[in-house]
Amino acid sequence: MITQKLLKEFLHYDPMTGVFTRLKRTCSRNKVGDIAGTIDSNGYVVIRIFGALRYAHRLAWFYMKGVWPRPEIDHRDTVRDNNRWKNLREATRAINAQNKRKAQNNSKTGLLGVSPHGVGFDAYISLNKKRYYLGYYSTSEQAHAARLKAERKLRPEYIMVPVT
């Protein structure tokens, strides 16, 4: 198991930029001072350290706090490769899921919280594992606008705010 002390011997984390740099060589491909990590297929930064791939946002938490985060780590601005310290927070899966910004690939409308119903569209929003019906609308755009309005009202703390 990796310790915070060992992590800090091999990597430096800059909380202002969210970037890890190497302090020691761990293989022939990397050099001291290199930026550590690559972006995976889901948009997260992953870093290979001690033979294992680890998410940079979880490493950042461990680096700063000295303990592994128990629940998930949420990126406040929803940008998965933005690992600045001010952008990270512990979150439950439910809270992290509330950051969803786009519909699933199999969505018939392509809009989050909007589904076809007859000749119109239903709007809904989920909060705390409950789904709330927002109404029936003649266009998908109207239904989506209703969902966005409800999101701003119900979850103002989850509206994307630029992190500086």
Express each pLDDT in 126-136 by its tens digit: 776 678 899 99
Report, as an integer, the average pLDDT of 119-125: 90
| Statement to judge: residues 33 and 69 lie in one domain | yes
| Statement to judge: residues 132 and 62 lie in one domain | no
Report, as an integer, the average pLDDT of 10-17: 97
CA–CA distance, 68 with 59 (Å, rounded to integer): 8
What's the pLDDT band for 137 if we cut at 50, 70, 90? very high
Q: Is the pLDDT of residue 123 over 80?
A: yes
CA–CA distance, 151 with 137 (Å, rounded to integer): 17
Express each pLDDT in 25-56 by its tens digit: 877 788 999 999 999 998 999 999 988 999 99
Report, as an integer, the average pLDDT of 64-85: 91
Query: 61 and 70 in contact (C-beta within 8 Å)?
Result: no
In-domain check, residue 116: yes
Domain ranges, residue 8: 4-93
Report, as an integer, the average pLDDT of 82-105: 76
Q: Could you say which of 48, 67, 93 is where a domain stops?
A: 93
**CATH code for position 137:** 3.30.730
| Statement to judge: residues 11 and 70 lie in one domain | yes
Q: Which residues pair with 48 in a beta bridge?
A: 53
| Statement to judge: residues 87 and 114 lie in one domain | no
Whether this model's pTM surpasses 0.75: no
Please choose, from the candidates 108, 2, 112, 116, the residue with its C-alpha nearest in 3D space to the C-alpha of residue 49: 2
| Statement to judge: residues 79 and 132 lie in one domain | no
CA–CA distance, 63 with 59 (Å, rounded to integer): 6
In-domain check, residue 67: yes
Q: Is the pLDDT of residue 102 over 70?
A: no
Residues of the chain above pLDDT 70, percent: 84
Task: Give me the chain's average pLDDT, please.
Answer: 85
| Statement to judge: residues 82 and 11 lie in one domain | yes
Please choose, from the candidates 7, 43, 45, 44, the residue with its C-alpha nearest in 3D space to the C-alpha of residue 35: 45
CA–CA distance, 13 with 34 (Å, rounded to integer): 12
Transcribe 99-136 into DSSP letters: T--S--TT-SSSSTTEEEETTEEEEEEEETTEEEEEEE
Q: Is the pLDDT of residue 157 over 90?
A: no
Q: Which of 1-10, 11-20, 93-102 is least confident?
A: 93-102
| Statement to judge: residues 83 and 121 lie in one domain | no
In-domain check, residue 161: no
Task: Spell 65-102 as b/e; 16+ CB within 10 A means b.
Answer: eeeebeebbbbbeeebebbbbebbbebeeebbebeeee
| Statement to judge: residues 130 and 82 lie in one domain | no
Q: Is the pLDDT of residue 103 over 80?
A: no
| Statement to judge: residues 65 and 46 lie in one domain | yes
Query: What's the number of domains the chain is made of?
Result: 2
| Statement to judge: residues 60 and 126 lie in one domain | no
Q: Could you say which of 64, 93, 122 is where a domain stops?
A: 93
